[in-house]
Amino acid sequence: MMGPPGAGKGTQAAVISAMLGVPHISTGDIFRANVSAGTPLGVEAKRYMDAGEYVPDGVTNAMVRDRITHDDCRPGFLLDGYPRTVEQVGELNAMLASASQKLDAVLELTVDLDEVVSRLVKRSSEQGRSDDTEDVIRRRLEVYFEQTAPLIEMYESQGLLVQVDGLGAIDDVTGRVTAALNIEA
């Protein structure tokens, strides 16, 4: 599941993974859980998250590698917010190859920039996420367009990309996602 911050990836990934009966693996959620628990990983990740930067690839890749080798991932899994860099794509390909697994689809939730900014500002007042302040939001969007948006073209050229309009009510977006991916709701 790809798309800029505020596109609704987490919301849609939770619904779709439940429909598919596969684990929802959100690197952002795993980092936030570690921040809340005060683990060394959380302490390291927080420095980057609060600045709107990506957590270093080595840290992120090791965390995903550990997670997707759990038994519950054997039938499949939904990755939300990973991979986000060229290096992460390379690592993910290696992880999948060694587990004889492959990507079935890369779903991009598309949303226009004004909508994304207004959603993030709203979320900051509702959830109080420390990375949803205006300066950090701006930086997170910059980093997304610099480092992650180019991956979408790469997946498109591999024939894996499925694009869905992320604008509108949650249920409507879910309907578009299930139709685009041929998932029976």
Residue 139 among the catalytic residues: no
What 3-state DSSP class applies to 161?
Answer: strand
Catalytic position from the list 32, 84, 119, 176: 84
State in angstroms the smallest separation of the CB of 146 from ligand AMP. Answer: 13
Residues 18-47 touching ligand AMP, rule: CB under 6 A, are: 27-28, 31
- Angle CA 1–106–18, to nearest 5: 50
Give whichever of 66 and 179 is closer to ligand AMP, judged by the CB atom. Answer: 66
Q: Which of 3, 5, 8, 166 binds ligand AMP (CB under 6 A)?
A: 5
Q: Which of 3, 4, 8, 81 binds ligand AMP (CB under 6 A)?
A: 81
C-alpha–C-alpha distance, residues 149 and 134, integer Å: 21
Q: Which of 110, 137, 143 is nearest to 123 (CA)?
A: 137
Residue 129 among the catalytic residues: yes
Give whichever of 150 and 185 is closer to ligand AMP, judged by the CB atom. Answer: 150
Give whichever of 46 and 176 is closer to ligand AMP, judged by the CB atom. Answer: 46
Q: Which of 2, 8, 82, 178 binds ligand AMP (CB under 6 A)?
A: 82
Give whichever of 30 and 173 is closer to ligand AMP, judged by the CB atom. Answer: 30
Bridge partners (DSSP) listed for residue 108: 2, 163
Give me 24's structure tokens: 């929802």
| Inter-residue contact 143 to 53 (CB < 8 Å) | yes
Residue 123 among the catalytic residues: yes
Q: Which of 79, 70, 101, 71 is nearest to 27 (CA)?
A: 79
Give me 132's structure tokens: 């949803």
Residue 140 among the catalytic residues: yes
The HSE-up count of residue 63 (CA atoms within 13 Å, CB side) is 26
Q: Which of 4, 7, 46, 54 binds ligand AMP (CB under 6 A)?
A: 54
Q: What are the catalytic residues?
A: 9, 84, 123, 129, 140
